[in-house]
Amino acid sequence: MITVGIITVSDRAFRGQYEDKSGPALKQFCEKLGWQITAQAVVPDEEAVIGDKTLELAKACSLVLLTGGTGIAERDVTPEAIRQIATKELPGFGEVMRTKSFERFPHAILSRSLAAVVGKSLVICLPGSPKGAVECLEFVADAVPHAIDLLHGGKHA
């Protein structure tokens, strides 16, 4: 069973000025795949807070999804936060997400979405828009079960 923690990274949603739509959209998509959502959180765009919440969920979930903070604005720091706590980065995830997204949305070239290993969890950083987050996860979803299996001692196919 794939257990999932979802973290929305948004100053405005954290302060209650904006309704989190990306976290619920990811939850709905994951449930369609049969993945079990075990935790959800909204955090501000602060590296330390993002890292701490990711470490907390990585202890309890096999997959941690972050939505938001992957652009190039000053407060977009999700990739930096994850790189500080990751043991391995998985560049193929970000490459596929950007390539496929770029075919539909030319500004996707500005995305800094990525995936990494944190403990025995797969962590995927997705765009902040509900549509972008779900589409990007959909592009890489087939690789997720195998990645998680490998992180838990499985063998290469």
Domain spans, the chain: 3-151
Q: What pLDDT is stored for residue 143 in this prediction?
A: 98
Q: What pLDDT is stored for residue 18 in this prediction?
A: 92
Check pLDDT > 80 for residue 157. Answer: no
Which fold would CATH assign to domain 3-151? Molybdenum Cofactor Biosythetic Enzyme; Chain A (3.40.980)
The token duo for 97 is 């997400």
pLDDT 10s digits, 74-120:
999 999 999 999 999 999 999 999 999 999 999 999 999 999 999 99
Region for residue 69 given its phi and psi (left: phi exceeds 0; alpha: psi -120 to 50; beta: otherwise)? left
Enumerate helices (H) and strands (E) in the chain, giving the number of each. 7, 6
CA 109 to chain centre: 17
pLDDT, average across residues 15-29? 97
Q: What pLDDT is stored for residue 134 in this prediction?
A: 98
Bigger pLDDT: 154 vs 92: 92
Share above pLDDT 90 across residues of the chain, in percent, rounded to a whole number: 96
Share above pLDDT 70 across residues of the chain, in percent, rounded to a whole number: 99
Q: What pLDDT is stored for residue 154 in this prediction?
A: 81
What are the helix (H) ranges across the chain?
Answer: 11-14, 22-32, 47-60, 78-85, 91-104, 130-140, 144-151
Q: What pLDDT is stored for residue 155 in this prediction?
A: 76
